[in-house]
Structure 1
Amino acid sequence: MPLLWIVTALWAFSFSLIGVYLAGQVDTWFSALSRTVLAALVFVPFLKPRQIKAQLALKLMAIGAIQIGLMYSFYYHSFLYLSVPEVLLFTVMTPVYITLINDLLEHKINYHFLFSALLAIVGAITMRYTELTSDYLFGLLLVQGANLCFALGQVGYKKLSEQQTLVHHQSFGYFFIGASVILGLGFMLFGNAQQLPTTELQWGIVIYLGLVASGIGYFVWNLGLTRVSVGELAVMNNALIPAGIMVNLLIWNREADLLRLGAGSLIIFCALIYSQRSAKLNSANKSAI
């Protein structure tokens, strides 16, 4: 759980950095591709191809292609139609996707985890509900596509780590290679090579997002998700929302309703506590059997 909180604090800046400095100014395909390529450069030197079977490498590439490659394809384009608060608002469905995908794979429904995910959504909507722009519908669909891909990748990585013994830092390079393949194709087919970063600030943000937010962030996040229950993972996906709002409030001086922020954060915290207790109860019941 501490690893997920660390990455939550790290990623809280990404929403505003993308929305304020990159969206509409730098080609979205290039912005997304640069993140995965830079992140891959961090982990490729640690790869151990001779110790990793081809089948496992392909699975890691497929998970990366979905969790980051396809997710970024939807996510970055959503900023062209939505404000940063709207993007934050529309990410609230991710916990439900995580819970339902996991239940589908296990052929059962965990009502405790589903309830905690729904409670987290209530908390997120409480703090971030705002008036929506006229283009919100298409933006909403883009964000939901991103949410679904992110959820699929997280559950897939968690399941793979339970089935295989992963030395994470020695195999994670394949994760970013898979994502880079998807985004590379997108840039070649739809990208605009004339719309690259033009200022040192933009280049600095691109490099930061690639090396730190993606490279370190996704590695630590995926490592952390292997150590928590599905319910806890689902709730932590919405912890990004209050964190993102606080960054907007403190750095970019955006107006925020502190009462809603506090109430929504409290609801998400309650959802997290509920999911933790449910996970412990499930473990105790399995031990008793």
Structure 2
Amino acid sequence: MANNGVSRIEHAPREYHEYPGAQYALPTDDAEHQRLLLQHNSIKSLFDNRILLAPVTLRPNDRVLDSGAGPGLWALDFAQSVDPAVHILGIDIASRLFPVSPPQNVAFQVGSVTNLPPDWTDTFTLVHQRLLMLALQIPEWTQALREIYRVLRPGGWVQLGESIAWFEGEYPDKPCMEKLVSLYRSLTKSRNLYIDCASHMPALLKEIGFIDIQAEERPLLMGKWAGADGVANATTNVGVFRGIKTPVLEAGGYGKVTTESEYDALVEGLEKEWEEIPGTKKEFVMFWARKPIN
């Protein structure tokens, strides 16, 4: 039985975060690490191989924070493009995916994006955070952004990347996608995750006190009809649906699936729909904003 009294659907579970109150819906295993690597490269390609859009000038001994770093892919990539005297720190709620031997100017530590150390106030010239829509609950977003604002130096920049989540009822020609989107929405609603944060990000940033708020939106195209990038995008997004299988089935399937094999068939059907029916896409948005000097 699940904790909420709903009958758990038997299945082969993957490895997930294990800490009190964890709501993060994706796994932390080796397969997820590979998915995140492909996703990082896909987003980088989407933005013309730019991983920094904020107009930041970094000087020796400046500090950069990668918030919710996961396996540290952005931090490791970014380290190759800056002076080695720039210090880069990645934090995440767990160390499971941290790189084993990062460069000398890159470090990682366990920490919560909603409760950064008190002595970090006015410390970082740049804070980067990406794709925590399946990690943070609705009230936690304001808290996390307040923490980012606090730890930024006056005049420092934040860069955030989030995708615009799919909505139910918009895919009549793709029944597997429609059902999986419904399951995705049911799961995230039950966990109070803010998957629609991208639509509200400019207002959230303004409310916290950020200025010079900018955004750039680009479409992630799904399927071989969109070339090599489309294949990679489809693979990473199919991987998301594979990744949420355990929490969906542990919650009893939300009245939409009753067995693991039924869920697996939906994902296989989704892959086929994206391959055979051109047009599936998901918008990805980069936001950047500045902390005022005064």
Common fold: TM-score over 0.5? no
State the TM-score, normalized to the length of structure 2: 0.31
Instruction: Return the structure number with greater helix share.
Output: 1
Greater relative contact order (CA < 8 Å, ≥ 6 in sequence): 1
